[in-house]
Chain A
Amino acid sequence: MNPFVILFAAIFTNNIALTYFLGMCPFIAVSRDLKTATGMGVAVIFVMTLTALFAWPVYHWVLVPYHVEYLQLVSFIVIIAALVQVVEMVIERFSPTLYINMGVFLPLITVNCAILGLALFMILRNYSFIQSMAYAVGSGVGWMVVIVAMAGIRTKLVFAKVPKALEGPGLTMIIAGLMALGFMGFAGIVNLQ
């Protein structure tokens, strides 16, 4: 399948947040204002791309030849944790301003299930290396689009009169439901499986 189709599908028709429910904890916790949401989005794109870059070779060149595919969970989680550590140190060393803006989100990303989910999906669907990279970038961008949109809606909602018990996570869930409904409008443009 054409990598561009995969990229497009990962952003719109098979959005990782709205169709696969991945990365929901930060989606609800850090979507309060636009700036933090953008920071988190950029960090996710970055780590996702790097994860695919390392997870694909490890799976296909190490785990498969030695018939230890069942170790994929452990190896992926170790790759993600190590990558986040390294990225954090590199950014801290070379760009202190970026570190101040992005540093807080990096440790959060280790437990972001969207990253591990991405690695598992790309193996499950038997993507080639190029396809995996397209899928990773697309998923990251898709996740960012959704969290930024959500943050925009929530900043407007500060002025709305909402039942007290619905405020916060309840309302975010229902808005996410409506957004998912909206994204279903993209279905059928491309078919991904």
Chain B
Amino acid sequence: MAESSARDTVAGAVKAAPRARKVPLTQREGWKQMVKGIWAENPTFRMVLGICSALAVTNKLTNTLAMCIAVIFVTTASSVTVSLLRKVIPRRVRMAVYTLIIATYVIFVDQYLKAFYPVISEAMGPYVGLIITNCIIMGRAETYASSNPPGRAFLDALGVGLGYAMSLIIVAFVRELLGFGTLFDHRILGTWWEPWVIMVMAPGAFVVLGLYIWLLRGFQMRKH
């Protein structure tokens, strides 16, 4: 019994091996690059980029989620566009061109939110517009999308966007739970809970993010 199952797994491995090899190298690299963006090179906790919005919109999970979707959309769309145009953009003015591409998508998001989700748009105020200056997006355009084909640029941008979203949601979870006693505006902690108002104000944002960066660096250092 044990023998046959062992043989099966060996046969399975042999059968699976060529199939795995058939996957084009570039595509596998793309997936790897995506996972890197989520964890090993997480933009917020590891690289400490895009902090402004990570601090400003994380007092409520609803706003955070809207911000995350907006950033993921703008990052992937602009990375793909930059990658498609990478052979046409002159090197000297590339930064200006990237900025204009990013600005176009941000305006799209801003107008969309204003038209369909006015409450969220109001709560986020100018921070939607400030996605333009989020260094994560420019960083991906400059370091990855400008020298890679669209498919891989898409996966890379998606990974970084998801990594950003993950860290924001973690921060927002703690801040909204302790600061309002709610999650997505639903009461989680009972009326006995005295809200920590400081959590939803500026100092709480800095301290929570600082503690998370500390925690993750600690884990990373223990591994090495």
Contact with B along A1-31 (1 / 0, CB 8 A): 0000000000000000011111111001000
The yes or no answer to B126 lying at the interface (CB within 8 A) is yes
Contact with A along B89-129 (1 / 0, CB 8 A): 00000011001100110110011000000000000011001
A174 in contact with B206 (CB, 8 Å) = yes
Write out the residue numbers on chain A whose beta carbons fall within 8 Å of the beta carbon of B125: 124
A70 in contact with B111 (CB, 8 Å) = yes
B110 in contact with A73 (CB, 8 Å) = yes
Contact with B along A90-124 (1 / 0, CB 8 A): 00000000000000000000111100110011001
A174 in contact with B129 (CB, 8 Å) = no
8 Å CB contacts to B: which residues of A135-193? Answer: 163-166, 169-174, 176-178, 180-181, 184
Write out the residue numbers on chain A whose beta carbons fall within 8 Å of the beta carbon of B217: 165-166, 170
The binding surface of chain A is classed by DSSP as helix
B202 in contact with A120 (CB, 8 Å) = no
B111 in contact with A176 (CB, 8 Å) = no
The yes or no answer to A81 lying at the interface (CB within 8 A) is yes
Query: What's the tally of chain A residues with a CB closer than 8 Å to chain B?
Result: 41
Write out the residue numbers on chain B whose beta carbons fall within 8 Å of the beta carbon of A53: none
B56 in contact with A20 (CB, 8 Å) = yes
Q: With a 10 A CB-CB cut-off, give which of A24, A117, A171, A181 has the most chain B CB atoms.
A: A24
Instruction: Report how many A-B pairs have Cβ atoms within 8 Å.
Output: 117
Write out the residue numbers on chain B whose beta carbons fall within 8 Å of the beta carbon of A20: 56
Write out the residue numbers on chain A whose beta carbons fall within 8 Å of the beta carbon of B53: 21
Write out the residue numbers on chain A whose beta carbons fall within 8 Å of the beta carbon of B95: 110
> Can you list 16 residue pairs at the A/B interface with Cβ under 8 Å?
A21-B51, A21-B205, A24-B55, A25-B49, A70-B107, A73-B103, A73-B107, A113-B130, A116-B132, A120-B129, A163-B218, A165-B217, A170-B210, A171-B210, A173-B206, A178-B203
Besides A19-B202, A77-B103, A165-B218, 20 other A-B contacts (C-beta < 8 A): A21-B205, A22-B52, A28-B48, A74-B100, A74-B107, A111-B138, A116-B130, A163-B214, A165-B215, A165-B217, A165-B220, A169-B210, A169-B213, A170-B211, A170-B214, A173-B206, A176-B206, A180-B202, A180-B206, A181-B203
List of 7 A-B pairs having minimum Cβ-Cβ separation, nearest first: A173-B210, A177-B206, A120-B126, A165-B217, A113-B133, A174-B210, A177-B207
